[in-house]
Copies of this chain bind each other. A is one copy, B any other.
Amino acid sequence: MSAAPRTVVGLDLGGTQVKGGFVLEGEDGKPDLDQTLSRVVAIDTNLDAGADDLLDRLAGFARELGSDGPLGLGVPGVFEEPGGRLLRSANLKALEGLDLGAELARRLDLPREHVCVDNDANVATYGEQWLGAGAGIQDLIMLTLGTGIGSGLVINGHLYKGPTGKAAEVGHMVVRSLPVNGTEDPYLRCGCGAYGCLERLASASAAIHRAQAAGLETDLGKLCGLARAQSGPERELLFEIGFDLGAGLLATTAALDVTCYVIGGGFGRSLDLLEPGIRAALAERDYGHAPPRLLPATLGASAGWIGAARMALDSLG
């Protein structure tokens, strides 16, 4: 009765690199994780030759990884739901308008429903919730502090994407309201159009901007090293950034009663320095919530393809 285990491939498409790996389906339908996590490989994204070329290379990469089962793909962008067409992607504009799942299914001769494409933040969240910091936790939000702030929401063990696929945009909680009679800070006008979004205050890019404005070290690794070594303006700045981050979490906690946050991304490695500020902001409100857990992400740059592979496994039902 038992067919040979299939190879489920996960790909994480970024602006410069595509990371990928695979999970063996396992004879009992459960994934065999022994060979997972150790085989991460990457190719260059290289968009110069156009969308078709990139899609061909993605399909070739999946084949190299042994793909003969469902495939998962994470992409930075906003998707149309239902349907799955890529509506927008700031760093992969050539792919906008395409149904990436259909394109890859055709190239790999897979049933369309077994090619699962989702936002990069969602797949990373799913990865961390499966095998990373959030393993065994049924309700959480993951934030990725990078150029922007990506985020994904897990409710009852499942990714929640909302009726049109645009939920969990924690980076767009407004934490600095437009001054009523004051001067707008142009940096705080977010790419989304709104003013004072969390990602303009607490992403890695925002942290660099704030360090520069304060006349401090702008290499975040060095800045955090200084803050860890001694009290002073570096540690204070990271407290302030943490406080703003906490103000954003105050909103998501009130909206969703979040009990666990997983913090990833390059700047997320400074969670130890951000946590006092986050906790101080959350303590402003006394509404009977227990303080949420704040966990550093553990899968690093592999979270995306791992979550994409899990999404593909889910498609087997």
Chain A residues with a Cβ under 8 A of chain B: 78, 87-88, 138-139, 153, 155, 160-170, 172-177, 179-180, 182, 192-196, 247, 250-252, 254-259, 284-290
Q: Say yes or no: A170-B255 contact (C-beta < 8 A), given A164-B290, A290-B164.
A: yes
Q: Say yes or no: A285-B170 contact (C-beta < 8 A), given A161-B257, A165-B257.
A: no
Q: Say yes or no: A163-B78 contact (C-beta < 8 A), given A173-B251, A175-B174.
A: no
> When the two chains form their complex, are residues B192 and A286 in contact, meaning their CB atoms are under 8 A apart?
yes
A170 cross-chain contacts in B, Cβ below 8 A = 254-255
A150 to B139, CA, bound (A): 24
**In the complex, what residue of chain B is closest to A165 when comparing beta carbons?**
B257
**In the complex, what residue of chain B is closest to A257 when comparing beta carbons?**
B162
A286 to B90, CA, bound (A): 14
A177 cross-chain contacts in B, Cβ below 8 A = 174-177, 196, 247
A287 to B168, CA, bound (A): 13
Q: Say yes or no: A255-B256 contact (C-beta < 8 A), given A164-B290, A192-B286, A193-B284.
A: yes
> When the two chains form their complex, are residues B255 and A289 in contact, meaning their CB atoms are under 8 A apart?
no
**In the complex, what residue of chain B is closest to A287 when comparing beta carbons?**
B192
**In the complex, what residue of chain B is closest to A77 when comparing beta carbons?**
B288
Instruction: Return 6 A-B CB contacts under 8 Å, by A number.
Output: A78-B287, A88-B288, A163-B259, A174-B174, A174-B177, A179-B179
Minimum CB–CB distance for A61 against chain B, Å: 29
**In the complex, what residue of chain B is closest to A81 when comparing beta carbons?**
B257
Selected from B88, B138, B166, B287, the residue in CB contact (under 8 A) with A257 is B166
A165 cross-chain contacts in B, Cβ below 8 A = 257
> When the two chains form their complex, are residues B250 and A174 in contact, meaning their CB atoms are under 8 A apart?
yes
**In the complex, what residue of chain B is closest to A153 when comparing beta carbons?**
B255
A254 cross-chain contacts in B, Cβ below 8 A = 166, 169-170, 172-173
A192 cross-chain contacts in B, Cβ below 8 A = 285-287
Minimum CB–CB distance for A317 against chain B, Å: 19
A177 to B258, CA, bound (A): 21
Minimum CB–CB distance for A142 against chain B, Å: 14
Selected from B138, B251, B259, the residue in CB contact (under 8 A) with A255 is B251
Minimum CB–CB distance for A133 against chain B, Å: 17
> When the two chains form their complex, are residues B166 and A288 in contact, meaning their CB atoms are under 8 A apart?
yes
A285 to B289, CA, bound (A): 30
> When the two chains form their complex, are residues B175 and A250 in contact, meaning their CB atoms are under 8 A apart?
no
A312 to B172, CA, bound (A): 37
Selected from B88, B155, B193, B287, the residue in CB contact (under 8 A) with A169 is B287
Minimum CB–CB distance for A260 against chain B, Å: 9
Closest 3 CB pairs of A and B: A162-B257, A167-B257, A169-B254
> When the two chains form their complex, are residues B247 and A288 in contact, meaning their CB atoms are under 8 A apart?
no
> When the two chains form their complex, are residues A164 and B289 in contact, meaning their CB atoms are under 8 A apart?
yes
Minimum CB–CB distance for A125 against chain B, Å: 14
